[in-house]
Amino acid sequence: MVASLNDVKHRITSTKKTRQITNAMEMVSQSKLNQIQKHTTSYDQYASQVKSVVLHLAQSHFLDGLAKTSGHSADNDQSSTKRTAYMVITSDRGMVGSYNSNVIRETNSFIEKHNSSDDIQILAVGGNGADFYKKLGRNVSYEYRGVSDVPTFNEVREIVKTATKMYDNGAFDELYVCYEHFVNRLTSNFRAEKMLPIDSESFDSDASNDIESNELTASYDVEPSEKEVLNVILPQYSESLVYGAILDAKTSEHASSSTAMKSASDNADDLISSLELQYNRARQAAITTEITEITGGQEALSQ
């Protein structure tokens, strides 16, 4: 009985220490979440303006013919199958609840529905995604680990430049960015957005409806040339798309981590209450047994 009481007491102490750790991790995740939300709010305004400009260009047929001159076999030969790559954004660490598993599961589902060919590539941003697809035997042609908790724009430029260079060299014909979109602290939704090639088909009708038709012009007067304008606008759009996706994904990651740590702390509280009740009952039973033994001994001596 003594050994049992000591075991329960040890479990209570151990669980309380675990609760202290999860409480601290929850506070850290909340702090990171608050920091990144401030960056996201200000960045959304810039990204919205860049997308609006490119959307105007697309609706004014400014982007027509880009794909045809890209040099990719799938662009020039409609009968051939396009080689598709997927940029999957996950976290480098664990203890983020179901965040990583949701991204990977939804990405796999999107790949199955979107691509019937096995000739796909994975561009993994985050260690969990890279490790998973390597074990699965997928072609992980690029991986980037160690994204900051509050990513900077310069971090993303390396990722965008690498992806764009691979596309220009013909490694793949189209690229989708797959990540978890932050809705609120408890909810996130999966998104898969087309990053490359940038053409009029990249923008769906819902986005087109955001701009009134009377705001559009049939054509643009371009100075100095269409090529030079596109060389400035399109890289900015690609960078804004990927940076926005990584910011969004990191926001969801911190929210998921905070929720997971809060859940762990609540479970620890429940376990501690249960163990303390078990300890008190066992201790009461031990005391009752001792009193019974003492009383029995007294009665034996009095006879």
Query: pLDDT tens digits, residue range 271-295?
Result: 999 998 988 888 887 778 777 777 7
Q: Model confidence at 199, in pLDDT bands (50, 70, 90)? A: low
Query: Phi and psi (nearest 5°) for 178?
Result: -115, 125
Average pLDDT over residues 197-214: 54
Alpha-carbon distances of 118 from 74, 122, 173, 181, 241, rounded to whole Å: 16, 12, 14, 27, 26
Q: What is the dihedral of CA 158, 99, 25, 15, to 10 degrees?
A: -150
What pLDDT score does 76 carry? 47
What pLDDT score does 200 carry? 61
What pLDDT score does 144 carry? 93
Q: Model confidence at 53, in pLDDT bands (50, 70, 90)? A: confident
Alpha carbons 84 and 75: distance in angstroms, whole number: 12
Rounded (10°) angle between helices 2-59 and 226-302 = 170
Question: Which residues are bridge partners to 143 per DSSP?
Answer: 124
Average pLDDT over residues 192-215: 61
Q: Is pLDDT of 211 > 50? A: no
What pLDDT score does 16 carry? 92
Q: Model confidence at 85, in pLDDT bands (50, 70, 90)? A: very high
| Cβ atoms < 10 Å from Cβ of 108 | 17
What pLDDT score does 202 carry? 60
Q: Is pLDDT of 74 > 50? A: no
Give the residue among 163, 168, 216, 169 at the shortest CA–CA distance from 194.
Answer: 163
Alpha-carbon distances of 121 from 78, 114, 141, 143, rounded to whole Å: 21, 14, 6, 11
Average pLDDT over residues 61-82: 53
What pLDDT score does 104 carry? 94
Task: Quote the mean pLDDT of the chain.
Answer: 80
Selected residue with higher pLDDT from 115 and 131: 131
What pLDDT score does 102 carry? 93
Q: Is pLDDT of 69 > 50? A: no
Give the residue among 1, 6, 12 at the shortest CA–CA distance from 275.
Answer: 12
What pLDDT score does 3 carry? 54
Average pLDDT over residues 111-131: 87
Q: Model confidence at 154, in pLDDT bands (50, 70, 90)? A: confident
Average pLDDT over residues 86-92: 93
What pLDDT score does 105 carry? 94
Q: Is pLDDT of 235 > 90? A: no
